[in-house]
Structure 1
Amino acid sequence: MEHLDTAIVLIPLIAVIAPLAARAIGPWLRVPVVVFELALGIVVGPSVLGWVGPSAFVDVLSEFGLAMLFFVAGTEIEFAALRERSGRRAIGGWLISIALGVAVGLLVAPGLGAVVIGIALASTALGTLLPILRDAGELRTPLGRAVGALGAVGEFGPLVAISILLGSHRPGVATVVLAAFVLISAGAIWYALKAPQGALHRFVNATLHTSGQLAVRIVMLILTALVALSIVLDLDMLLGAFAAGIVWRLLMRDADAHDREAVESKVEAIAFGFLVPLFFIYTGVTFDLASLLDDPRLLAMVPLALLVLLAVRGLPSALAAPQGSDRKTTAAVVLLGATGLPIIVAVTAIGVDEGLISSGLASVLVGAGMLSVLLFPLIGMALHGDRVPSTTVRVDDEV
């Protein structure tokens, strides 16, 4: 109860301090807000001050935050980009990454432990990169579309791998279960594409500024329904969250642009104003810094793991660079493609819970993910060059 009492106050306080800190240093250095959330979570957590500790209640809210992060990522998927040259090459690059990642994992851990490491190393944090690209005016440019394709494959691919290889079912059974989930999700997507949505859009518009808030309620229904379905089928819940984002995007594709933006702003307010920062802060609180500090070898492995992440995920990402890209743009694609954290947190937690990898190794991988979020987008966008002034910092961004 003591940890819960302090968490109720300190986590919202950190959620307010983090964007203010990012804005304060924005004129000199554009540091993603998530970096402050993670760092401050570590500071108030058991590893440093001990003001906030693990809590079952906050842990559940944190899981909702992670699900919401993947829901938002699903709403940003550009299917057209996946059919383009960059999209096809992004798929090929991810297959190379997962093969290299598992090969690296076999050097460190046996059996399924190597799979956990491989999945972690083959991930790309689309939900973390999207606000960076949006702020830099790159979301719809060739660079943005290439990184969007990399992120979509780098999140969906690991989720499928987790569901098939790390679930309680045998791989063959897991594939059948996954196919059942895909069929059900495809049915929802078909409905979103084919069924007339005019009445829904009118009802959504009528309740945008009332206590009804139908759009937000439908979002939460789709999200919880597909997450619950994935849990019932013993798949990773993030697969359901990702699919829910895709379904919602298709439901609203023909809505009036002004109304669609209004709905998106409300959903982002829930996601980036409450649930997503809670996930990142709690990740910092539960980060096992003590294991790294107690063992100098583990601490030394963090920068090494960062370089491995760059090699395993970043270099194959160069395949998806826009055609005719110069060296700086290609380098930016490599760095952005190697930016990973949410999948790393999720898959290493599964690995530790199942006894496949040690808590110390999980901390090394999560630490490398934290560094990738701090360094790679910063360097990558600097190499490519922002389209907007670097002093422009949106307070609500969760990068």
Structure 2
Amino acid sequence: MNELSILITVAVIIFTSPYLSKMFKMPIPSVEIILGMLAGYYGFISDYYLFELVAEIGFFYLMFLAGVEVNLRVFVRTDKALIKKGLVYVCLLYFFSFCFTLYMGYSMLMMVILPLLSIGLILTLYKEYGKDQPWLNLAMFVGIMGELVSIALLTFTGAILEFGIGAQLYMSLVYLVGFLALIIILFQGLQVLFWWFPQLKIFLMPHYDKDEKDIRLSMSVFIVMIAIMIFLRLEIAFGAFIAGAFIATFFEHKKELPHKLSSFGFGFLVPTFFIYIGSTFPLNALQMEGVVTTAATITLAMLVVRQLSSIAFWKHLGAKKSCLLALSHSMPLTLLIAVATIAFKSRTISETLYYALILTSLAEVIIAMLGIKLLHVVGKIKK
């Protein structure tokens, strides 16, 4: 009955979320998270390894779809001045986070948590606002830079919390650096290969294909990259993103491929991930002393440091669009949960702080998406 309850509940939430989203004027991911929380509280969803596995695959697939939106050739050709502004933005994030951590007297772990960036949920904004928004395209570009830093720090922090400072930590760093070097060499090599043999792209992904070879190749790259990251004990989400970027960079002739890949993802896997995230937060934790106040403080801090850092783009985007960019970066849902889980399992943080961080990750998604929607609507009214 447990499995049947989960299946039926997930099916109902997936189907009704778009309608409830339209009714309550809320983003669909926010609705799915809230419904997941309620379903978990009332016992319709409980711990079940297959549900957790599908949700985890949903997150990796979301990161894969984010990579599919990134053609690395375009990334390389981007204006150097814009890259510098992006680096300034990321540096400001860590500077303001450092200042807040010292002022509040928090653990140094908070310096890793506050500036976390993840582009996974930015992809959901494309579904609603389109790909012609300058602030959203810049948010994706800068988010990639920030996420690389976040994942590197997450790998480093996770190794310290799990193994301490020692040989295993150094091996994790060697694996990370080696993997990045190998990816760069691989991309350069494939670029030369496809330049000499351009028809190889068409052979691998024909324009007209009744056997769905494009989907099969994409899924194969996605799965192989996950296997490599598991073997190296590195952040799987990063590997999934690289797999997506590989498809976007070398098979740009398949214009319809991103739509084909996202249809399945946003129709099933990604909503399952959001529902699962909501179901993992016990509503009775809201009654624990300090959980709500700590979550409110951290949420406010993460929102503020991003708004302050967005001054790096004021001349380029203007104040309002810079604010939108900062809000789009205020949803490091999965990375924040990952850090909180690793820290809690290693007994580095208390149960109160753990639940506060989980609540923060959920609250930020809802606040950021509602804030973006509000600013976007206000901008349309003024026009």
TM-score interval for Structure 1 and Structure 2 normalised by the shorter chain: 0.7 to 0.9
* Corresponding letter in the other structure for 1:201: I
What CA distance in whole angstroms lies between the structure 1 residues aligned with 2:148 and 2:222? 16
Q: Is the 8 A contact 2:205 2:251 kept in 1?
A: no
Give the aligned partner of residue 358 of structure 1. 350
Give the aligned partner of residue 94 of structure 2. 98
What CA distance in whole angstroms lies between the structure 2 residues aligned with 1:336 and 1:85? 22
1:204-243 CA-to-partner distances (Å, cap 9, x unmatched) read 33664x3x32111211111111111111111111111111
The question of 1:279 aligning with 2:273 is answered yes
Q: State the Cα distance separating 1:100 from its structure 2 match.
A: 4.2
The question of 1:348 aligning with 2:354 is answered no
Match of 1:301 among 281, 294, 298: 294
Stretch deviating more after TM superposition (160-169 or 223-232) = 160-169
Q: State the Cα distance separating 1:264 from its structure 2 match.
A: 1.4
1:357-380 CA-to-partner distances (Å, cap 9, x unmatched) read 234323322322222222223323
What CA distance in whole angstroms lies between the structure 1 residues aligned with 2:255 and 2:56? 27
What CA distance in whole angstroms lies between the structure 2 residues aligned with 1:81 and 1:382? 33
Q: State the Cα distance separating 1:280 from its structure 2 match.
A: 0.9
Q: Do the aligned partners of residues 15 and 176 (structure 1) sit closer, same or farther apart at CA in structure 2, a change above 3 Å counting?
A: same
Give the aligned partner of residue 81 of structure 2. 85
What CA distance in whole angstroms lies between the structure 1 residues aligned with 2:261 and 2:15? 19
Q: Is the 8 A contact 1:143 1:322 kept in 2?
A: no
Report the secondary structure of 2:46's partner residue: coil
- Count of aligned pairs: 368
The question of 1:153 aligning with 2:145 is answered yes
Report the secondary structure of 1:57's partner residue: helix
Q: State the Cα distance separating 1:8 from its structure 2 match.
A: 1.9
What CA distance in whole angstroms lies between the structure 1 residues aligned with 2:207 and 2:78? 35
Q: Is the 8 A contact 2:288 2:352 kept in 1?
A: no
The RMSD of aligned alpha carbons is 2.7
1:232-264 CA-to-partner distances (Å, cap 9, x unmatched) read 1111111111111111111212x1xxx422x21
Give the aligned partner of residue 18 of structure 2. 19
What CA distance in whole angstroms lies between the structure 1 residues aligned with 2:193 and 2:261? 23
Give the aligned partner of residue 239 of structure 1. 238
**Superposition map of 1:134-173 within 5 A:** 135-137=128-130, 139-167=131-159, 168=163, 170-173=168-171
The question of 1:184 aligning with 2:176 is answered no
Q: Do the aligned partners of residues 39 and 217 (structure 1) sit closer, same or farther apart at CA in structure 2, a change above 3 Å counting?
A: same
Q: Is the 8 A contact 1:81 1:149 kept in 2?
A: no
**Superposition map of 1:126-137 within 5 A:** 126-133=119-126, 135-137=128-130
The question of 1:375 aligning with 2:331 is answered no
The question of 1:52 aligning with 2:45 is answered yes
* Corresponding letter in the other structure for 1:226: M
Give the aligned partner of residue 202 of structure 2. 201
Q: Is the 8 A contact 1:339 1:376 kept in 2?
A: yes
Report the secondary structure of 1:127's partner residue: coil
Give 5+ residue unaligned stretches, structure 1.
390-399
TM-score (norm 2): 0.85
Q: Is the 8 A contact 1:100 1:118 kept in 2?
A: no
Q: Is the 8 A contact 2:68 2:258 kept in 1?
A: no
Greater fraction helix: 2
* Corresponding letter in the other structure for 2:81: R
The question of 1:70 aligning with 2:68 is answered no
Q: Do the aligned partners of residues 288 and 81 (structure 1) sit closer, same or farther apart at CA in structure 2, a change above 3 Å counting?
A: farther
Stretch deviating more after TM superposition (162-171 or 236-245) = 162-171
Q: State the Cα distance separating 1:68 from its structure 2 match.
A: 0.8
Give the aligned partner of residue 397 of structure 1. none
Q: State the Cα distance separating 1:104 from its structure 2 match.
A: 4.8
1:309-356 CA-to-partner distances (Å, cap 9, x unmatched) read 112333213313452x43323332332332331221222222223333
**Superposition map of 1:215-226 within 5 A:** 215-226=214-225
